[in-house]
Amino acid sequence: MPLFPLFADLHGREVLVVGGGEVATRKIQALLRAGARVLIYARELAPALQALAVEGRLHRLEGDAVDPQWIERAWLVVAATDDHALNRELAGIAAAAKRWINVVDDAELSSYQVPAVVDRDPITIAISSAGAAPMLARQLRERLEAEIDPSLGDLARLFARHRGRIRQRLPAMRERRDWFERMLTGDIPALLRAGDIDAAEHAFEAALAERGTRRVAGSVALIGCGDGDPGLLTLRALRLLNQADLILVGDGVAQAIIDIARRDATMQPLPTTDDLVELLSAHVQAGLHVVCLRPGSGFTDAGSRGLRNALSERGHACETLPGAVWPGD
């Protein structure tokens, strides 16, 4: 392993950034998000940094040259000028003072590097190519951004809020682990994805009260497939298709959509009978994640309102996603 990964707590800690261009701006924005106190020395500041300085979110250092004492004062240093000789000199001073330094134009001189980051606060995913190919790290990040739902942070926060109670209720590590495993595949993540934090809290309380005895519920997603071009599905529709246990395919759904669904999901035709609610309810209670597909705008029409309402009245995690439909000229 070329670099040791770690997550640093920079809240309230001073970080010195030398240089004020485009690259310094990106690093500073990330440092500020992590709560660092940024000291900056640069001949010129990019407009975004000028704005931050005016707001008092950056402390600008003045002088004819970098003062080595600034480096000693900081926990971390970023050398982000376009002056290679200066960046190299800063790396030397930082090494002598045992300060960690990121040299943006030289991976070898950097004692730490900045990864590409997927931020689902409090979950953070950091990707490093150790300087081999930063653009590859960025591309991987973009793929994960698409893959990982924004509600992951809500899920982590929900567990964090009740951490003490979970431990109390399930003192044995093994029991706790099994319980968590079931929570992560059940209806709670689906409820949070649909933005229903209150319902997720209720499901959580019920699961905690019943400990290991309750069978974890599944979910239903009612998805419109638009004109059948998978490229026009929403990211959330794609994620749901990848997680589905059972896919009920309505008449006229394009093969191209079915082709991108999870390989080991069971496919069945979407029944047109009146007892669809009962059928879906039984699957959800059995813990299955069910996706129902229809072409066009899907289940957003008035005729589907009864189905949508009946599912939520029964307390099932149910989300409805419209398909992209060209409105016409």
Ligand X SMILES: C[C@@]1(CC(=O)O)c2cc3[nH]c(cc4nc(cc5[nH]c(cc(n2)[C@H]1CCC(=O)O)[C@@](C)(CC(=O)O)[C@@H]5CCC(=O)O)C(CC(=O)O)=C4CCC(=O)O)c(CCC(=O)O)c3CC(=O)O
Where on the chain is the footprint of ligand X (CB under 6 A)?
A: 26, 30, 102, 104-107, 110, 113-116, 128-132, 134-135, 137-138, 141
Q: Which is nearer to ligand X, 110 or 219 (CB)?
A: 110
300 binds, among ligand NAI, ligand X, none (CB under 5 to 8 A by kind): none
Nearest-approach distance from CB 42 to ligand NAI, in angstroms: 4
**DSSP code at position 209:** H
Position with the least CB separation from ligand NAI: 21
The binder of ligand NAI chosen from 9, 29, 82, 209 (CB under 6 A): 82
Rule CB under 6 A: say whether 19 interacts with ligand NAI: yes
Rule CB under 6 A: say whether 83 interacts with ligand NAI: yes
Nearest-approach distance from CB 70 to ligand NAI, in angstroms: 12
Q: How deeply is 214 buried, as exposed, middle or buried, from its count of CB atoms within 10 A (0-12, 13-18, 19+)? A: middle
Q: Which is nearer to ligand X, 106 or 201 (CB)?
A: 106
The values of phi and psi at residue 315, to 5°, are: 80, 15
151 binds, among ligand NAI, ligand X, none (CB under 5 to 8 A by kind): none
83 binds, among ligand NAI, ligand X, none (CB under 5 to 8 A by kind): ligand NAI
Rule CB under 6 A: say whether 233 interacts with ligand NAI: no
Buried b (16+ CB within 10 A) or exposed e, 75-101: ebbbbbbeeeeebebbbebbeeeebbb
Q: Please, are residues 258 and 267 in contact by the beta-carbon 8 Å criterion?
A: yes
Listed ranges 78-86, 161-169, 182-190, 288-296: which one lies at the site for ligand NAI (CB under 6 A): 78-86
Other CB atoms within 10 Å distance of the CB of residue 156: 14
SS3 state at 143: helix
The values of phi and psi at residue 299, to 5°, are: -105, 25
Integer distance in angstroms from the first to the last C-alpha of the chain?
57
| Per-residue binding letters, 134-153, with ligand NAI (x by CB under 6 A) | x-------------------
Please name the helix (run of DSSP H) or strand (run of DSSP E) that holds residue 164, with its range, or none.
helix 163-169
Residues whose CB falls within 8 Å of the CB of residue 35, separated by 6 or more in sequence, listed in order: 10, 11, 12
Rule CB under 6 A: say whether 64 interacts with ligand NAI: no
Q: Which is nearer to ligand NAI, 40 or 288 (CB)?
A: 40
